[in-house]
Amino acid sequence: MSAKILALCGSPRAGSNTQAYLEAALGVLKECGAETELVELRGKTIRSCQACYACWRKGDGVCQIQGDDFRPVFEKMLAADALIVGSPVHYSAVHPDLWSVLVRAGFPGMAGHPHSAPRPFARKIGGPITVARRAGQNFALAQLLLWFNINGFIVPGSIYWTVGVARSAGDAVKDTEGVDTAIQFAKNVAWLLEKTR
Ligand SMILES: Cc1cc2nc3c(=O)[nH]c(=O)nc-3n(C[C@H](O)[C@H](O)[C@H](O)COP(=O)(O)O)c2cc1C
């Protein structure tokens, strides 16, 4: 299968659980022949949307915030056929670094386009994985699913919601059901890519 898959990891810590679930998913897609890349937001500076509406007015998809690490990440998102995002759950929500990327990527994507016009992420395939010690995975998952939905992605399911249960870095491997869920999600991404390309 010739396809580019990008995984964005929203965890700020090294060797994160989020990364482990994403790697489990990417492993499947790599076996299917896809070109895979995992981009960590850890250590990157991503400012949040300033609501200047410049991207919207100009309709060129260019965010006016300069001097941070958003642009190269956004370009990888545009180039990918499938996008998987992973977030640790912090206070029942998506990590702010990942959310800043998604908000800034989504708005230029809609900018200047009438509602019927094609958008840069329309009919791409993808979905989220969220990871928490105990609670809040589904809130964060829903937050991310709404982003995928409004941006026109096709999101396959899995054998369970794509959530992980893990506390300390490295715990993800003990959550075999969570890892299996990430793997089955990736198999469904691969299946959809085959059917739709
Ligand atoms: C600031 C902060 C807030 C957190 N909030 C939650 C939470 O709401 N629910 C939960 O179950 N775990 C919470 N956790 C625990 C993390 O979700 C958990 O350690 C997870 O494995 C982190 O994933 P990572 O290794 O990918 O960073 C929180 C951790 C931090 C540092």
Domain residues for 104?
Answer: 4-196
pLDDT at 164: 98
The number of folded domains in the chain is 1
Q: Tell me which of 130, 133, 141 to substitute to probe ligand 1's pocket, judged by most ligand atoms within 8 Å of the beta carbon.
A: 133
pLDDT at 113: 61
* Residue of minimum CA distance from atom 22 in ligand 1: 88
* Residue of minimum CA distance from atom 21 in ligand 1: 167
Are the CB atoms for 164 and 141 separated by under 8 Å? no
Q: How confident is the prediction along the chain (197 residues), in pLDDT tens digits per residue?
A: 899 999 999 999 999 999 999 999 999 999 999 999 999 999 999 999 999 988 877 767 788 999 999 999 999 999 999 999 999 999 999 999 999 999 999 876 666 565 666 688 999 999 999 999 999 999 999 999 999 999 999 999 999 999 999 999 999 999 999 999 999 999 999 999 999 98
* Residue of minimum CA distance from atom 1 in ligand 1: 90
Phi, psi of 94 (to 5 degrees): -70, 145
pTM of the predicted protein model: 0.96
Q: How far out from the chain centre does Cα 181 lie? A: 16
- Residue 9 DSSP code: E
Q: Tell me which of 8, 89, 91 to substitute to probe ligand 1's pocket, judged by most ligand atoms within 8 Å of the beta carbon.
A: 89
Count of alpha carbons within 13 angstroms of residue 27, beta-carbon side? 11
Are the CB atoms for 145 and 128 separated by under 8 Å? yes
For the purposes of burial, counting CB atoms within 10 Å of the CB of 146, is it exposed (0-12), middle (13-18) or buried (19 or more)?
Answer: exposed
Who lines ligand 1 at CB under 6 A? 11, 13, 16-18, 88-92, 131-136, 166-167, 169
Task: Kindly give the number of the ligand 1 atom that is closest to the alpha carbon of 164.
Answer: 21
Calpha distance 90→120 (Å, rounded): 29
- The CATH number of residue 174's host domain is 3.40.50.360
pLDDT at 109: 64
